[in-house]
Structure 1
Amino acid sequence: MVTPARCAWAESDPLLASYHDTEWGVPEHDSRALWEKLMLDGFQAGLSWLIILRKRDAFRAAFQNFDPEKVARFGEEDVERLVQDAGIVRSRSKIQAVIGNARAYLAMQAAGEDLSAFVWTMAGGTPVRNASAERLVKSPLSEEMSAALKKRGFKFVGPVIVYAWLQAVGVIDDHDHHCFRHVPH
């Protein structure tokens, strides 16, 4: 069996390859799933994505399957519990950001703003294809979306984190040109 050519970052580990082949870059339109993936990308800041993937099930257990309504009710006891949870990244500031981001997500909903509609409207309703072979770390769209999320109270949503998230959820199609999942323009 011939191994398909995939993006270079996904070649180093079978878990990365599986994630790349089945999830990364697949357009996501479910608001809760978008929020979960944004939270995981926030935890990834300063670390490798492989660390987050290996801990993803533990993150889901620790954060009530990333149910924003449940996470928004977390208090200081929950923060202390999570800081002690060796299954996740034990960064107090990132844990507190997820709790605050659950509240920001719910505030958006209460104001009639759906996260999926917000994201896909800003992107023009269809995946943005990176026509260049250059590997970007941020873009005008990620900068604009980062600012809009921050204005709504989100934390750990800088333009680089947002760019990685937009790639992961298929808003930005950044598959390498030789990758079997690359869609020609």
Structure 2
Amino acid sequence: MTATEFNEMLINNSDFLQPVAVSLTHDSEEAKDLIQETMYRALANREKYQTGTNIKAWLYTIMRNIFINNYRRNKKFSKVSSDVPQDYYMFQTSKVAHNDGMINAGIREIKGVINKLPDIFRLSFELHYLGYKYQEIADTLQEPLGTIKSRIHFARKILSGQLSR
């Protein structure tokens, strides 16, 4: 088989490569690159093609092997980007000084307001604040579920009214 005949056969049978390449890569640009590499390897290894065999199967095998080799290469040597956002180093928490004074003052103020709540609201609210579910609080205090929900709601309203921040 002459080089011209082989080239014509490649061109005539290369149309089926596009959908196969897209199904392998899931990206149209990578699929184009894969097709181009397949055609290059087919031309470079023209002497390995046996006349009379299925050219589509031969091209498909070349494409599949290229894809698998590229996948393994990319998995082994994952690409590392040096594109670091400008703010990354500026806002690293390991270099930030913390001032817990304001936080502690705020917590003391909140605890003081919670302790001044009427007992009927305070107990329900504290249990809810500790993470108990409404039904668990109702079972513990032996009260109806709706009563517990309304007590917690009123406790929140009182707290939000008494806390200025």
How high is the TM-score relative to the length of structure 2? 0.23
Say which one has the larger Rg. 2
Greater per-residue helix proportion: 2
How high is the TM-score relative to the length of structure 1? 0.21
